[in-house]
Structure formats: structure tokens, C-alpha cells
């Protein structure tokens, strides 16, 4: 079965879409990569940087002979993106996305794409930085990282195999799981940590002596809150799209934080140490995997 793609179109040439373009170009130099989107100046910048080979604001021209179309915009915009390209699709074109939530994306694909939903392979690379834009894209972003694919019952298996091969060519390990399981796992491991970082920095920014607080913030604070520099618009979309799973995780975390608060208030040394030891053991085991 043919696995390589000859012409790829990236809809949304930012950090993830741009890094995918760079990574696959590095693995397959003969591929042609086209960009599309709503902002011509951003696309022109991506072309000047060599992230994409060309772009065209006319989707019918940009999508001509494309064998893979990648949706790389915030999850809140993916439904509109599906609508805008639907009339330009064909049966030989494979579709995939890079969104951090999958249930809402799959629902919109099922609603909008019609017969082409069989060609859609939902995906999510577990990689990124707090930076954004094509200027932040780099080919090594996905090396030794995991990419989760969540094909549905309607997804063509050959399309899934080709998208899997694409990510493997970029240096990633590919895993398949259900959309529901994906959203629960990511609510715990990615979405909740971002909410905590945003919330902590917001809390401190409202304090009267915030200038002194931030002035003396050490490495631990910077490490913990680095992801609060991520795109607010993107994370607004993510937290609302995955609200059920995220609220469940926030509620569980609040309960555990209340338990720690009570232990500190009660000067319960054993309970505090128990919580810290359990956390350290889990963190050390995770980092050594």
C-alpha cells in the first residue's frame, strides 16, 4: 500500500501545522506542501520562512491534486473549516486534524463532511510549546513524542494506516484509542495543568504586591507556569470543547486540594508527608519511563 503523500495542504500554518510541514518535508523532500487559511499575511510569512512551498486564498486552486488535508486550527474553528472546504473534497483525499479534543471534532466531521467522513482520521500530536505561529515551527517537535489517532467506525482503515505512517515518518510513536478515552486522558494530563497555570498566574496578578511577587519568582514558579504563556484563545476553545471531562478533573483536584488544606490547617504532619511522598513516587516513576 502507498504510504507517502505527494501533496499536502495545511489548513492553519501555526506551530503544529508548520512543524508537521517541516518534519514531513525533512523525511520526504519531494513532497509539495501548500498552505491555506483566512490570514494572507500569515500564509505569506510561512512561505517566506520556507515552512510551506506555496499558498492560495482560492481553496479550489490550493486543494487541487492534494492527497492529504490537515486541519491545524483551534478546535473551536474546525467546524467552520470543514464547511469551507467541503465542496472541494474528493474520494481520494485523506483528511486529518491535530486538535487537543476529539469528541467535538468527530461530531462536527460527522455532521458536515457527509460521504467524506470515511476519509477523516482524527488525530492529536502530544507535543507543542507555549509559543505559536509559523515562525515557531521546527521539524524536531514530534520526535520521540506520541501521536494519538482516534479513528471511528466510519474511518477507512487504509486512511488510518497512511496517517499513522505520516506521523511515524516525523519521528512520533502512534497510538490509537477511542475519542472518549482520549478526552478523559487529556483532561487530566494536559487540560487541567493548563487551567491550573492560567488560574495561578491570574490569582497572583490580582494581588496588591504582584510586582514583588513576580520579581522574586524562582525557577519552580517559572517551570510550573510556563504554559500560562500559551494562546488564551486556543485554550478557551479546548476547555469549553472538553468541558465535561475537564470539570470532572477540576472537581477531583479541588477535593484533593481541600484534603491537603485541611491537613496543613490541622498540622497533620503524617498526612502532609503521605501526600507529598505519594506524589513524588508517582512523578519519579513517570519521569523514568
In this prediction, residue 64 has a pLDDT band, given cuts at 50, 70 and 90, of very high
Tell me which fold the domain 181-287 belongs to: 6-phosphogluconate dehydrogenase C-terminal fold (1.10.3660)
CATH 1.10.3660.10 residue ranges of the chain are 181-287
For residue 57, how many C-alpha atoms fall within 13 Å in the half-sphere facing its CB? 6
**pTM greater than 0.85 (yes/no):** yes
Task: Characterize 238-272 residue by residue with b for buried, 16 or more Cβ atoms within 10 angstroms of its Cβ, and e for exposed.
Answer: bbebbeebbeebbeeeeeeeeeeeebeeeeeeeee
CATH 3.40.50.720 residue ranges of the chain are 7-177
- Please say whether the structural domain 7-177 has been given the CATH code 3.40.50.720: yes
29-35 long-range CB contacts below 8 Å, 24 or more apart? 30/6, 31/4, 31/5, 31/6, 31/7, 32/6, 32/7, 32/8, 33/7, 33/8, 33/9, 34/7, 34/8, 34/9, 34/10, 34/62, 34/63, 34/66, 35/9, 35/10, 35/11, 35/62
Mean pLDDT of 14-36: 96
Evaluate if residue 253 carries a pLDDT over 90: yes
The answer for residues whose C-beta is within 8 angstroms of residue 277's C-beta and 6 or more apart is none
Evaluate if residue 2 carries a pLDDT over 70: no
Evaluate if residue 288 carries a pLDDT over 90: no
Beta bridge partners of 123: 149
- The pLDDT of residue 219 is 78
In this prediction, residue 213 has a pLDDT band, given cuts at 50, 70 and 90, of confident
Return mean pLDDT, the chain: 93
| 182-196, 202-216, 264-278: the lowest-pLDDT one | 202-216
Amino acid at each position: 500500500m502507498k504510504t507517502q503523500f505527494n501533496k499536502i495542504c495545511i489548513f492553519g500554518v501555526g506551530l503544529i501545522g508548520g512543524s508537521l510541514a517541516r518534519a514531513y518535508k525533512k523525511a520526504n523532500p519531494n513532497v509539495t506542501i501548500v498552505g491555506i487559511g483566512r490570514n494572507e499575511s500569515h500564509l505569506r510569512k510561512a512561505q517566506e520562512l520556507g515552512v510551506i512551498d506555496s499558498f492560495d486564498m482560492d481553496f479550489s486552486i490550493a486543494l487541487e491534486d492534494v492527497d492529504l488535508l490537515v486541519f491545524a486550527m483551534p478546535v473551536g474553528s474546525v467546524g467552520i473549516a470543514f464547511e469551507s472546504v467541503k465542496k472541494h473534497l474528493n474520494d481520494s483525499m485523506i483528511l486529518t486534524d491535530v486538535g487537543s479534543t476529539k469528541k467535538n471534532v468527530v461530531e462536527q466531521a460527522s455532521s458536515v463532511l457527509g460521504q467524506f467522513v470515511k476519509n477523516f482520521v482524527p488525530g492529536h500530536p502530544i507535543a507543542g510549546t507555549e509559543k505559536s505561529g509559523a515562525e515557531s515551527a521546527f521539524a524536531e517537535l514530534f520526535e520521540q513524542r506520541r501521536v494519538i489517532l482516534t479513528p471511528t467506525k466510519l474511518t477507512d482503515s487504509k486512511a488510518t494506516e497512511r496517517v499513522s505512517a505520516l506521523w511515524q515518518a516525523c519521528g512520533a510513536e502512534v497510538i490509537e484509542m477511542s475519542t472518549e478515552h482520549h478526552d478523559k486522558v487529556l483532561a487530566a494530563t494536559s487540560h487541567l495543568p493548563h487551567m491550573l497555570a492560567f488560574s495561578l498566574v491570574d490569582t497572583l496578578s490580582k494581588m496588591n504586591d504582584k510586582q514583588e511577587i513576580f520579581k522574586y519568582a524562582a525557577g519552580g514558579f517559572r517551570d510550573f507556569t510556563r504554559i500560562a504563556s500559551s494562546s488564551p484563545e486556543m485554550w478557551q476553545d479546548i476547555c469549553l470543547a472538553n468541558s465535561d471531562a475537564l470539570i470532572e478533573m477540576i472537581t477531583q483536584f479541588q477535593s484533593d486540594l481541600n484534603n491537603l488544606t485541611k491537613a496543613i490547617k490541622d498540622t497533620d504532619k503524617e498526612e502532609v508527608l503521605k501526600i507529598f511522598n505519594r506524589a513524588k513516587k508517582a512523578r519519579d516513576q513517570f519521569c523514568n519511563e
